[in-house]
Amino acid sequence: MTNPYELARVAADELRDHSGVDEYDVAVVLGSGWKEGVVALGEPSSVVSTSSLSGFVAPTVAGHHGEILSIELDGTRIALVAGRVHLYEGNSAHHVVHPVRTVIAAGAKKIVLTNAAGGLDPSVAPGTVVVIRDHLNLTATSPMEGPSPPEGYGSRFVDLSDLYSARLRSIARDVEPALSEGVYVGLRGPNYETPAEIEMVRRLGATLVGMSTVLEAIAARHLEADVLGLSLVTNFAAGVADGPLNHLDVLETGLSASDRLGALLARVLSAL
């Protein structure tokens, strides 16, 4: 097997050929709910299907299409990655982070990771966006597992002390002072948690829970990109409020927030 870094270089060259964009400045990974809002960013100059790029696996989640959109916003060249893939679809950590490694190989030095998440704080209502301050990786895996990265890439022992860039977080909060910060716990899913599990991760310090983001953040930091994480709270986590969790409610909260998400993303991206 080609090493994952070489594979990302190959995919980045293909992306360049297909998109006509030489280099990106920023990449955004779009979580559920966020994709529908990106019309606010303007007309993409190209849309590349990830099925035409080496190493990409097709998403199996409804509403996640594998595409990379190229958009220019105030002179900033942005790659929008739609169609994230997850561990729970049966993918390895390397597959999960391949899109992020690819856009970084295509030049992006800032990575915005967006997601939909369950909220553990009863005072943060569904529909609220929260900036990720830090994470707990409880997926029991890491994109750094396996052979040591080849010559020229950083150590596998990645320093995560400043994983979610304080500088980018402060820019986001300057743009939108109402944004609060939280700690995101990444679990494998795909089942939602029991109330006891939510109580466990709450005691460990989590305020947001989801099934993505943490592996991508680690891979991006390893490649020396600056990471910003934005969570849309779409539901109260199990046991936080009365009533069951329902995937359709989660999707609906995402959809009804999409105009606000797009507008927020446009303002944050212009300021990065």
Closer of 24 and 184 to ligand 8IG (Cβ): 184
Least spacing, CB of residue 178 vs ligand 8IG, in Å: 21
Between 246 and 270, whose beta carbon lies closer to ligand 8IG? Answer: 246
Shortest distance, position 138 Cβ to ligand 8IG, whole Å: 10
Length of the chain: 272
Residue 135 CB, nearest approach to ligand 8IG (Å): 13
Which CB sits closer to ligand 8IG, 20 or 205? Answer: 205
Which residues in this chain contact ligand 8IG in the complex, by CB under 6 A? 116-118, 187, 189, 192-193, 209-211, 234-235, 237, 245, 250
CB of 29 to ligand 8IG, least distance (A): 15
CA geometry: angle at 23 spanning 18 and 25, to 5°?
130
CB of 140 to ligand 8IG, least distance (A): 14
Q: Which is nearer to ligand 8IG, 210 or 262 (CB)?
A: 210
Peptide bond into 59 cis (omega under 30): no
What is the CB neighbour count within 10 angstroms for residue 246?
11
Quick one: 8 or 250, whose CB is closer to ligand 8IG?
A: 250
Nearer to ligand 8IG, 86 or 110 (CB): 86
Q: How far is the CB of 13 from ligand 8IG (least distance, A)?
A: 34
